Amino acid sequence: MKIAIMGAMREEIEPILESVGSYTSSDHAGNTFYECRYEGHDLIIAYSKIGKVFSAITASVMIERFGAEKLLFSGVAGGISKELKIGDLVMASALCQHDVDITAFGHPYGFIPEGSVMVDADRSLIDLAKEVARSMGVDVKEGIIATGDQFVASAERKHWIEATFKADALEMEGASVACVCANFGVPFFILRAISDSADGDAGMDFDTFLQSSAKVSARFILEMVKRLGN
C-alpha cells in the first residue's frame, strides 16, 4: 500500500525520516518528497509548509503524482477545549475551516457552496488509532479540529470558534488536507499534539515542545503504518 505521511513543518517529519532509515527524495511543485519502503508499505513523506494553500498542494501531489492510497497527518495544535492540556494528543473526528465566511449570502460560517462545514475523518483509521493508543499506553482524545490561515491568539476568537463549531483544537492545515482527501476519495487521519491550552498557557518553549511532541507523534503514526493491511 502507498501511504502518505504529512506534517506542516520540517521538525514534524524529521523523526519519521530518522525512523524509516534509508529513503530517496525528489522535488515537485516547490516541495521535496521522500520515498521509502517500510513494514511492507511504500511511504511518501513530506512537510507542506504552514497554511491551507501549501498543505492542499502537498496533499494533492502526494495523491495525484505519487498515488497515495491513505494519508496520515501529524503535527501540533492549540487547544481550545478546557478538556485538553499541553502535551495531549487529539485526533480529528471531523475538521472545519473557521476562517471561511460567506454568511452575507445566507450560509453558515465555514460553509462553501457544494461543500460542507465539516469533513469527517476516516472511521477505520480512527478505530485503528484507538487500538494503537491502547497498545502503547497513550491517551488520545477524539474531537473536532478547526483550521484557518491565522494564528489565533485572541481568547475572544477562540471562544467564538469553540462555540460556533464545537471545536476542540485549532491549527492551520488539517481541514484543507481533509478537503483534498475527501475530493480524491482517499481515507485520511489527522493527529495533533496540543502545544498551548485554552487559557493561553504556552507551557515550555515552543521549539522544545515541537521536537519532543514530534517524536511521540512519529512513533504513533509509524505504529499505525505497521498495523495497516497491505
Band (pLDDT 50/70/90 cuts) for residue 215 is confident
Mean pLDDT value across the chain: 92
Identify whether the C-beta of residue 90 lies closer than 8 Å to the C-beta of residue 84. Answer: yes
pLDDT digits (tens, 9 = 90+) for 82-103: 888 888 899 999 999 999 999 9
174 vs 1: CA distance, rounded Å: 23
Band (pLDDT 50/70/90 cuts) for residue 198 is low
- Sequence-ordered strand ranges (E) for the chain: 2-7, 24-28, 31-38, 41-47, 70-79, 89-97, 119-120, 140-147, 169-171, 188-196
Band (pLDDT 50/70/90 cuts) for residue 50 is very high
How much of the chain exceeds pLDDT 90, in percent? 78
Asked if pLDDT for residue 204 goes beyond 60, the answer is: no
Asked if pLDDT for residue 199 goes beyond 70, the answer is: no
Residue ranges of domains in the chain, CATH in brackets = 2-227 (3.40.50.1580)
Q: What is the pTM of this model?
A: 0.93
Predicted local confidence at residue 52, as pLDDT: 98
Mean pLDDT computed over 60-64: 98
61 vs 208: CA distance, rounded Å: 30
Map residue 161 onto helix, strand or coil. helix
What count of other Cβ atoms lies within 10 Å of the Cβ of residue 11?
Answer: 17
Band (pLDDT 50/70/90 cuts) for residue 195 is confident
pLDDT digits (tens, 9 = 90+) for 125-178: 999 999 999 999 999 999 999 999 998 888 899 999 999 999 999 999 999 999
Map residue 177 onto helix, strand or coil. helix
Identify whether the C-beta of residue 120 lies closer than 8 Å to the C-beta of residue 180. Answer: no
Asked if pLDDT for residue 197 goes beyond 70, the answer is: no
Residues 135, 140, 145, 151, CA torsion sign: negative
Identify whether the C-beta of residue 126 lies closer than 8 Å to the C-beta of residue 91. Answer: yes
- What one-character-per-residue DSSP string does 23-46 give? -EEEEETTEEEEEEEETTEEEEEE
Band (pLDDT 50/70/90 cuts) for residue 179 is very high
Predicted local confidence at residue 93, as pLDDT: 98
Predicted local confidence at residue 155, as pLDDT: 87
Q: Annotated active-site positions, please?
A: 12, 196
